[in-house]
Amino acid sequence: MRVLTLLFMFCFSLAANAQVVAEHEMKAAYLYNFAYLFDWPESRRANFHICVLGDDDVGTAVQAYYDRRVNGQRIVIARLTTPTPIRACDILYVGAGEVVNLPKIRSILGNQPTLTVTDKGGLPAVGIMLALEGKRLMFDVNLEQCERANLKAKPTLLELARSVRKSADGDAKTAAAGR
């Protein structure tokens, strides 16, 4: 509930202050908040890794969350130039320049508990797809992909999502009426 409150406060404070927030800063904030909106498998690692592959602007913006904590783990940010080290990532943001490598990325990750996020390509290849609608950043959730990665989406995430895809045959529902 605390995360939901923080997410809403973040969004409403932006609107109330009429500040213009860059798209890459919104994406970084969403990546950080996604860490709280999933039940993660127990990890023996001391750090929680948020990785950015192929988008320097998002990589720079997400640095603001370095050294915070999620589930008792310190957040570490990794800005990657190749998909080789992605097995160490808990959240992996794939930028537009690397979307062509999504099949390879899925193959490398297998069923590893890594949340894949992008804003290009298609929802079937990732757990979360970001989309800019006007000045609002929205997201769609692919539950099948998340479950394949052994990640359980919390109800709050599903309520905030623009849409939720439940199965490979395209069964989808609108997450919230009136969005």
Domains of the chain by residue range: 2-163
- When mean pLDDT is compared across 17-21, 35-39, 42-46, 106-110, the lowest value belongs to 17-21
Q: What is the CA radius of gyration of the chain?
A: 15
The residue count of the chain comes to 179
Dig out the tokens for 155 from the structure: 């109800």
State the pLDDT at residue 20. 76
CATH topology of domain 2-163: Rossmann fold (3.40.50)
Mean pLDDT of 132-151: 94
User: Which residue, 130, 102, 151, is CA-closest to 30?
Assistant: 130
State the pLDDT at residue 4. 47
State the pLDDT at residue 1. 52
Cβ–Cβ under 8 Å, residues 83 and 116: no
Residue 105 or residue 121, greater confidence: 105
- When mean pLDDT is compared across 69-73, 96-100, 121-125, 128-132, the lowest value belongs to 121-125
Res. 143: pLDDT tops 70: yes
Phi and psi (nearest 5°) for 12?
A: -70, -35
Mean pLDDT of 159-164: 96
State the pLDDT at residue 71. 87
State the pLDDT at residue 19. 63
CB atoms within 10 A of CB 78: 17
Res. 79: pLDDT tops 70: yes
Cβ–Cβ under 8 Å, residues 114 and 92: yes
CB atoms within 10 A of CB 9: 11
Q: What pTM, to 2 d.p., does this model score? A: 0.84
Query: Could you report the per-residue pLDDT of 6-40, keeping only the tens digit for each?
Result: 444 445 444 444 467 899 999 999 999 999 999 99
- Tell me how far apart the alpha carbons of residues 146 and 127 are, in angstroms, rounded to a whole number: 5
